[in-house]
């Protein structure tokens, strides 16, 4: 085993956390647990939302590994299993020689919900949100349909690996246009809540939470601010989508 191999394996597992919705705090903890299993503690890391760099000393000379984070999605099954794997490695329950196969196993874990469950969840979330200001069955129906149609398109575009910003704008415009048509037909009088509810399924709740977690840790302040900025950018895209539908259709 080369001197850099423990760092490489630790990055492999930590990046599973980063790429599947985990916070930087959790990714760094996973990274440290894997190194602990290898009995390696002379590593310094710099975390960003788009990349991570790890530096150590090999045969008396400094050496650095740089890894891009890549596309960040949400698969908390993988993220939590990666965290459990790191704890098992730290306790010595997983032989370092068997770590590669365990990493591949975790990478192969899929979301336990199919497309239709995710579609129903998005539609129902929008419908419930539309009822916050008061009981309005028209707003409920409009929001349910608008979010359901948008969520279906979102899942199809995600499968085609369309960038998040473009995917958010396209789905936001579709959902708000459907909602605007329903409002134009006077199916509901709660226009503001209905329009917002139609895109609530795309609100970046988890990235925003992870951003605050990273920011409060102080050590990962830059990564946290990056996550919060990305979430604000998504909110801005959704606001533009709502304004577009309101201007064109209503």
List the pLDDT tens digit at each of the 250 positions of the chain.
457 888 999 999 999 999 999 999 999 999 999 999 988 888 999 999 999 999 988 877 888 999 999 888 899 999 999 999 999 999 999 887 889 999 999 999 998 888 999 999 999 999 999 998 888 899 999 999 999 999 999 999 998 989 999 999 999 999 999 999 999 999 998 899 999 999 999 999 999 999 999 999 888 999 999 999 999 999 999 999 999 998 888 6
- Give the pTM: 0.89
* Number of domains composing the chain: 2
Domain containing residue 73: 5-107
Q: Decide which of 107, 142, 168 is a domain's last residue.
A: 107
Same domain, 77 and 125: no
Are residue 229 and residue 137 in the same domain, yes or no? yes
Last residue within a domain, chosen from 51, 85, 107: 107
User: 199: helix, coil or strand?
Assistant: coil
Same domain flag for 119 and 242 = yes
Which residue has tokens 């499968």? 159
Cross-strand bridge partners of residue 64: 55
Q: Which of 53, 79, 107 is the last residue of a domain?
A: 107
Kindly state whether residues 95 and 199 are assigned to the same domain: no
């Amino acid at each position: 085993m080369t001197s850099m191999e423990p760092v490489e394996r630790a990055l492999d597992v930590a990046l599973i956390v980063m790429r599947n919705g985990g916070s930087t705090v959790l990714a760094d903890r996973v990274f440290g647990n894997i190194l602990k299993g290898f009995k390696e503690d002379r590593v310094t890391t710099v975390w960003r939302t788009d990349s991570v760099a790890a530096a150590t000393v090999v045969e008396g000379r400094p050496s650095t590994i740089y890894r891009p984070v890549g596309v960040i999605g949400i698969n908390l099954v993988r993220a939590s299993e990666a965290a459990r794997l790191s704890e098992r490695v730290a306790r010595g329950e997983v032989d370092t020689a068997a770590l590669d196969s365990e990493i591949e196993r975790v990478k192969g874990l899929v979301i336990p919900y199919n497309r239709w469950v995710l579609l129903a969840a998005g539609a129902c979330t929008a419908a419930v949100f539309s009822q916050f200001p008061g009981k309005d069955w028209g707003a409920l129906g409009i929001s349910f349909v608008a979010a359901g149609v948008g969520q279906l398109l979102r899942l199809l575009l995600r499968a085609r690996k369309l960038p998040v910003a473009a995917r958010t704008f396209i789905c936001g415009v579709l959902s708000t246009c459907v909602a605007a048509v329903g409002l134009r037909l006077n199916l509901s009088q709660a226009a503001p809540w209905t329009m917002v509810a139609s895109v609530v399924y795309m609100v970046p709740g988890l990235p925003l939470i992870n951003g605050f977690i990273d920011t409060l840790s102080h050590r990962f302040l830059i990564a946290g601010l990056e996550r919060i900025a990305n979430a604000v950018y998504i909110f801005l895209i959704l606001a533009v989508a709502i304004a577009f539908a309101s201007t064109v259709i209503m």
